[in-house]
A and B are shown apart, each in its own frame.
Chain A
Amino acid sequence: MSVPAIAAGRERRQPAIERYLNILGPLAMIVAIGVVMAIFEPRFFRITNIRIILQDAAIYMVLGMAMTLVITGAGIDLSIGSISALSAIIMAIFIKDLNVAVYAAMLMALIVGVGCGLVNGLIITLLRVPDLITTLSMDLVFRGLALVLAAGAVLQRFPEPIPAIGRGRILNDTIPIPIVIGLVVLLIGVFIYRYTPLGRYAIAIGGNRESAMLSGINVRRNKVYHYMLMGGAAGLAGIMLTGRLNAVQATVAEGFALHTIAAVVVGGTVLFGGRGTMAGTLVGVILLSMVTNALVILRMAFFWQLVAAGVIIVVSVAFYSYLERRGKGGSE
């Protein structure tokens, strides 16, 4: 056995095809949907429609980045929809009822999000309540608080930059701002994954909690960080959603958690932790948005979206299981 790779001193990477084998599955599905739509409904490919797809995907890019980290660390967060709603409602009340400056109110939304994540993290690590149960319960708590605070009101017409964040465009009115935000957040996710202890420890904690602990990693503290980041992302998603509709009520963002988890898992992040990719999450988010959009354009009843989403998740995970058996499960 020789070690030329090391002697050469240059980074020798796995061939790209192997590294990204895990997102070839969802990519293939994206192509398949493209082909089907090209045949049945060419309007699917209009710029305006593609923009709609990406705009829908943007919020899930933000949520998906943090969820990738949470799931990699063998956690799960079912409370993100409620966190988004609570953050947005508090921001809206600050602006509309308390006349707080818009940027201060937006900052408040992020703080509320991070705070909710902190609560989740502390319950999980200090009280040792399983991640699933904690976030399922706190989903009710946060949603309840949002409903209490909003008292049935729909708050609308927010000052800039909130509408811009949700539906504005830059570069000659071409690129939607939410897409830019989504991609920047995902890039930050790539950075966290590759270049920070936070990302590396998430892989270690999710892959082998005991090994992580024996390596001197503070497992509980890192778990709390994951949920705080997730909460902050949910707060940002709440601002984006408020901007997109230019209105908010306490019942918004109901399906955020399951849609985000589905996108992350479709993208190849292993639900039991230890492995995940931001690139895969991007692909998963776009795939799910495409499916939703395609069914709308084909005028299928909304309920078919549920059927399609379920089928896609099962097919993707079956694909990963197949790769696993071949011993080529990938990760970043």
Chain B
Amino acid sequence: MKTVILKTASNYLLPLLLLFSFFILLRGHYLPGGGFVGGLIAAIAFVLHAFANGLENTKQLLRIHPGFLMPVGLALALFSGFSPIIFSDLPFMTGIWFPEPLSVVGMVGSALFFDIGVYLVVVGVSLTIIFTITESA
């Protein structure tokens, strides 16, 4: 798909969609959204970029192999699950929170880190799948 409109638009859409995906990720604790949806949106942003500019360019933009995001995300989620055990001797995966909300982000707690882990895993998995399918097509 080598059209000028899509190519130009995708250059602007990529940062916008990534920003939107972060918004959805942060919104997720009390309102619809969260790591899974946010991760999918981020993946869509990269896929759109790959459609317009070719897979090679997107891979150069990403620099790392998307598959690498999977263990990173899993490790982050695992760590956030462990954090109540380490910090306050509560059962696994209990939500613990910083007392004061951060500006923009809002309340920060172990659930947020878990969601970021999910986000990374989803981006990694969907991009790996889609890149593999595109390469072999």
- Asked if chains A and B come from one complex, the reply is no
B residues apposed to A, CB below 8 Å = none
A residues apposed to B, CB below 8 Å = none
